[in-house]
Amino acid sequence: MTEVKQSHPPGLAVLFMAEMWERFSYYGMRALLTLYCAATLFAQDPDPEASAYAIYGSYTALVYLTPLFGGMLADRVLGFRKAVMLGGILMAVGHFVMAFEHEQIFYLALAFIIVGNGFFKPNISSIVGRLYDEGDKRRDAGYTIFYMGINLGAFLSPIACGYLGENVGWHWGFGLAGVGMLAGLAQFYYGKKHLEGKAEPPDPEALAKATPLGVSREWAVYIGAFASVFVFWWLVQQHKLVSVVLIVLAVGSIAFIAGYAITKCEKVQAQRLVVAAILIAFSVVFWAFFEQAGSSLNIFARDYVDLSLAPISTWEMPVSWTQSFNSMFILLFGIPFSVMWITLARKDLEPSIPMKFGLGIFQVGIGFICLWYGAHIMPEDSKVGLIWLVLGYMFHTTGELCVSPVGLSMVTKLAPQQITGFVMGMWFLFTAFANNLAAIIAGFTTGDDVGAAAGVMAYGNVFWVIAMLAFGFGVFVSLISPLLKRWMHGVT
């Protein structure tokens, strides 16, 4: 049995802090996005929430789509460190541009963040995996700790950015998110020595070679990245087209993985890659339900949840603060989960990665049962108790701890090293697909102004359907997990 070491590489702390600040910027802006769009950009639309969900769905889908390309460019050209720096710069520009009040400038800001995230997100996650040797039992724990950095930033940002956005001005909140991004960039740049050279370009000499454009391959990537911002500025406004693009790319990526497994891999490696692809596909179910948080659950909290601390106090929290609940529970449960996985691994009792996925999907269903029940028992002329929203987020969080950090680690374990960045990008591509699907699901909660009782039941009915689907998929994944475990050939 592989010895379980106790300490983690020093580079993990660097990546923890850089990702914490980057997520501060992302979730600070996300907490305000649907509220801002519904209250300002689309206030005159017949159904402002539906319009807000469409933009939110396009934006979040594209944010998770671009890592597919950013991962490939890092694998083949830039290397992980340079890709992360480029992504951080683009995202910082986007957050500060968002501080200006103009609709088309707002879309341009979203485009900068979308492109920047494509270079930042998959590659900083891949660096975490590179810090550990193959078979190192600390890797899952390392990813859980890294995931806590994500959620520390995600916990603080809705409180800080949300308060400024809702009480001072929307664009003050967006501007503060930009400050967080600059802090993350500085942390990563000054801590690069602790990465031990494991994030450098795959071929530095090839990176410096000239291209037909008259610049090096490295600068060609930089110029192309900035030019692509204008493509995404247009695309973020085309929700239906985004859906089509995601379907085409998802099918294409599956075809690529199948071809690679057949032509480039021996049997064990091929079966491991197939398991990775299957679990990535099932992650769509989890994320499509989980990502109701920034769309339908945000508006549900605004319109139908009692946000006071009654009976302790009549003070009502800002709506955006509810976006911190998930991250709060990550911070509370992250270390216990990390310790639990290590303890179970020592006793050879740890659930397999596929079983963890099944458990995660099932738990998100429990969360929606809590939300449905809160809506179901709401007294007439009253609001849903805050406790039901809190419980919903709590079960979503325990499910997330079984899927997200485990999924990131799974990619680095099962994917061949030559295409780790691509498969990590594929993880985010299917998350993009899920976010787009989440916006479509959220649309079923909107409609005519029918009053509080009918309105809350419209949400409750959607929550019930989501819960039943989650239970069904969770059980199915758990049932096939022994087969998938065999195809992993000893990877845990």
For position 154, which CATH number holds?
Answer: 1.20.1250.20
pLDDT at 481: 94
The helix, strand and coil proportions of the chain, stated in percent and rounded to the nearest 5, come to 80, 0, 20
Question: SS3 for 59-108, per residue?
Answer: HHHHHHHCHHHHHHHHHHHHCHHHHHHHHHHHHHHHHHHCCCCCHHHHHH
Per-residue exposure over 470-483, b if at least 16 CB sit within 10 Å of its own CB, e if not: bbebbeebbeebee
Residue 249: inside a domain: yes
Looking at 129-143, 199-213, 291-305, 426-440, which range is the least confident one? 129-143
The count of domains in the chain is: 1
Judge whether 464 and 368 are in contact, CB under 8 Å.
yes
Q: Is 359 exposed, middle or buried (0-12, 13-18, 19+ CB in 10 A)?
A: buried
169 occurs within a structural domain:
yes
Structural domain boundaries, residue 323: 11-487
pTM: predicted TM-score of the whole model, two decimal places: 0.84
Residue-wise pLDDT tens digits, 169-219: 888 898 898 888 999 899 888 888 888 777 888 888 888 888 888 888 889
Q: Encoding tokens for residue 101?
A: 């009040």
Average pLDDT over residues 130-157: 81
Structural domain includes residue 2 = no
Place of tokens 């990813």: 143
pLDDT tens-digit map of 271-299: 999 999 999 999 999 999 999 998 899 99
- pLDDT (tens digit per residue) in 16-69: 999 999 999 989 988 898 999 888 888 888 888 888 898 999 999 998 888 878
Give the distance, in angstroms, between the CA of residue 93 and the centroid of all CA atoms in the same chain: 21
Q: Is 85 a residue whose pLDDT tops 60?
A: yes
Domain membership of residue 492 (yes or no) is: no
In a domain, 213, yes or no: yes
- Note whether residue 3 is domain-resident: no
pLDDT of residue 121: 84
For residue 96, tell me if it sits in a domain: yes
Higher pLDDT, 334 or 244: 244
- Flag whether 5 is in a domain: no
